[in-house]
Amino acid sequence: MNVFGLESEVMRIVFYALLAVKVFAFIDAATRPTDAFPAAGKMTKPAWLLILGLAVACDLLLPSLLLLLAGTVAAFVYILDARPALASVTRRR
């Protein structure tokens, strides 16, 4: 295996890992209650589903580095910012 083959395999693994992050973020957003999003002070549920759904669709249908990066940033913003806020609002006592 040459250097370019190794690089290709690493990039393929990174692509699928980032795709898995985006799919996780989309599924998590889809399973959260609609009322929790405004209560947490975040964008609405349909807005997050649109953004994250487009991120997944662009990865699968339109592989572009710029779209890949934009979708990855959106998924990480949801996971690191919106998800904890939603969890604190929907946490049962």
Percent of the chain clearing pLDDT 70 (strictly above)? 97
Q: What are phi and psi of 2, to 5 degrees?
A: -90, 175
pLDDT of residue 44: 95
Relative orientation angle of helices 65-77 and 45-61, to the nearest 10 degrees: 150
pLDDT at residue 1 tops 80? no
| 85 vs 74: CA distance, rounded Å | 16
Q: State mean pLDDT over 4-22.
A: 93
pTM of the complete model: 0.88
Which band of pLDDT confidence, cut at 50, 70 and 90, is reported for residue 58? Answer: very high
Q: And the tokens for 33?
A: 């209650």
